[in-house]
Chains A and B, each alone.
Chain A
Amino acid sequence: MAPAGTVSCAAALAAPAAAERAASEDPREALLETVLAHRRTVFLICLGFTRHRWDAEDLAQETWLRAQQKLGQLRDPGSARAWISRIARNVCRDHLRRMRWRRFLLGGAGEQAADEVPASETPASLAERRERWAALKRAIERLPRRMREVFVLRAYGELSYQEVADALDLPLGTVMSRLHRARAALAREMEEVGR
């Protein structure tokens, strides 16, 4: 049995019902539940930035802790997804900054290994698949930071263009052009590797 205050993520993902239930009890609880309904988004954004599920899990937790502290700043529950995505982006940015220093100080030691290739792979395609994953990881890391943020929020966090614009405080047109450029750059990189 799960400890008090702990639920499985699968159960928690069915959050809208919980949000409705909590809404009748405490406004703050309701707001928290609304925010928590986006835990999948947060985890995937963190995954997009770190490309590692364990790190993503830690950063998602960090995001929730920060979100709880700043819950009073969320004025419009309708923009909760963009709001929490922005916090996740900031948490990941801090993490990547720390990792950069760490890599600089250690010369690569302490760097975490990439996630394993999915177990569903057949042995024949395993090596090639692994190579493609690594190439994509490198290509995303090489994207300029502004492009990478837009791409991760859209491709991993599954945010709409408007939500990405809200989360990053950018005009919609800028989001679209950065996303286009990011996709083109990634495609070029992958094409280079494929040759």
Chain B
Amino acid sequence: MSERMGGATSERTREIEELIEEEKREAMAYFESRPFAVGRADVGNAAVGRAAGRPVQPQRFSWPVAASVAATVLAILAALVAGPPASRRPRLEVVEVALRGASAPATGAPEIPAAPEIPTASATPRASGGPGADLAWTVEAALWRAHADVDAVEIERVVASALGAIPSAGAAEPSRRIDSLALQRRIERLRGRSLEPLLRRHWNG
């Protein structure tokens, strides 16, 4: 039985060799008739063969279409991961609302903690009296309300620096005005540098 199987195997092996030899002969006859240029990127003979009527199924695949589909899918995935932009934006508007004297935070913002007792050290502007000093208090209290755990010393420094131009009581009226531009700049810096990460930490838990 094994001899019979062995015989069949060698017969098949012979047949395989014949088929391969025949295939090689045919292919070489074709190959030898072809121009051959080394070092030139004149590849693409398959394309020439197709143009000459080689039976190839029509290709439905298109790289531009595939790239466009991939880009769309990626954009959708990115949007899903990012979520609505507003929900991830730091809620700095709370500070602005507080500075405007509003008692409630902006819509959707978390409740602002109650203002703690103002440290006595920072009460100097009030002691100086006058509208500038009142405004200084307003600003400082608003900042406190907006964010209770902002370093008190930092807030005091910023506000005091912003209000540094306020002279002591009895000075001439024009010079009592707060330099609103300087204050604005200070608040912007506070927002941009130190307050923003603090706010993020506070509201994101």
Taking a contact as CB atoms under 8 Å apart, the answer to whether B59 and A106 are in contact is yes
* Residue numbers in B under 8 Å from A183 (CB-CB): 13, 16
Partner pick for A113 among B56, B59, B60, CB 8 A cutoff: B56
A9 pairs with B56, CB closer than 8 A: no
**Docked complex Cα distance between A111 and B50 (Å):** 12
User: In the complex, are the beta carbons of B37 and A47 less than 8 A apart?
Assistant: no
Stretch at the interface among A48-56, A73-81, A168-176: A48-56
CB neighbors of A among B160-185 (8 A): none
Indicate whether A32 reaches chain B with its CB closer than 8 angstroms. yes
Number of B residues near A (Cβ < 8 Å) is 45
Q: Given the complex of chains A and B, what is the CA–CA distance between A53 and B15 in angstroms?
A: 21
Are the CB atoms of A8 and B33 closer together than 8 Å? yes
Bound-state CA distance A36–B44 (Å) is 20
Whether B32 lies near A8 (C-beta < 8 A) is yes
Which of A19-27, A159-167, A186-194 has 4 or more CB atoms under 8 Å from chain B?
A186-194
Give min CB distance, A121 to chain B, whole Å.
10
Interface membership of B88, Cβ < 8 A: no
A187 touches B13 (CB 8 A): yes
- Interface membership of A83, Cβ < 8 A: no
Contact of A194 with B19 in the complex, beta carbons under 8 Å: no
Query: B61 near A106 (CB under 8 angstroms)?
Result: yes
Q: Which residues of A contact B64 (CB under 8 A)?
A: none
| Smallest Cβ-Cβ distance to A59: which chain B residue | B43
Q: A44-B28, A190-B16 given as contacts; is B61 within 8 A of A105 (CB)? A: yes
User: Taking CB as reference atom, which chain A residue is nearest B41?
Assistant: A65
A148 within 8 A of B: no
Query: When each residue 52-71 of chain A gets 1 if its CB lies under 8 Å from chain B and 0 otherwise, what string results?
Result: 01111110011011001000
How far is the CB of A115 from the nearest CB of chain B, in Å?
7
CA–CA, A33 and B8, complex, Å: 44
With an 8 A cutoff between CB atoms, is B83 at the interface?
no
With CB as the reference atom, state the residue of chain B lying closest to A184.
B9
Contact assessment for A190 and B32 in the assembled complex, using a CB-CB cutoff below 8 Å: no
How many angstroms between the C-alpha atoms of A112 and B56 in the bound complex? 5
Contact mask for chain B residues 66-79; partner A; CB cutoff 8 A; 1 contact, 0 none: 10000000000000
Verify if A100 is at the interface (C-beta below 8 Å from B): no
Structural contact, B28 and A110, CB atoms closer than 8 A: no
Closest B residue to A53 by CB, please name it. B27
Residues in A neighbouring B42, C-beta threshold 8 A: 61
Q: Across the interface, do B60 and A54 meet the contact criterion of CB distance under 8 Å?
A: no
Across the interface, which residues of B come within 8 angstroms of A118, CB to CB? 22-23, 25-26
Is B80 engaged at the interface, CB distance under 8 Å to the other chain? Answer: no
Residues on A with C-beta less than 8 A from B34 are: 8-9, 57
Contact code string B1-21 (vs A, CB < 8 Å = 1, else 0): 000000011101101110110
Chain B residue at smallest Cβ distance from A43 = B31
Bound: A44/B30 CA distance, A: 12
A7 within 8 A of B: yes
* Of B41, B55, B60, the contact of A106 (CB 8 Å cutoff): B60
Known: A40-B28, A136-B16, A183-B16. A57 touches B45 (CB 8 A): yes
A6 touches B16 (CB 8 A): no
A113 to B8, CA, bound (A): 30
Cα distance, A155 to B16, chains bound together (Å)? 10
A30 at the interface (CB under 8 A from B): no
Q: How far is the CA of A49 from the CA of B172 in the complex (A)?
A: 97
Query: Cα distance A90–B34 when bound, in Å?
Result: 24
Q: How far is the CA of A53 from the CA of B56 in the complex (A)?
A: 14
Known contacts A7-B36, A51-B23, then 6 further A-B pairs from the complex at CB < 8 Å, ordered by chain A residue: A44-B27, A58-B44, A58-B46, A65-B39, A109-B60, A187-B12
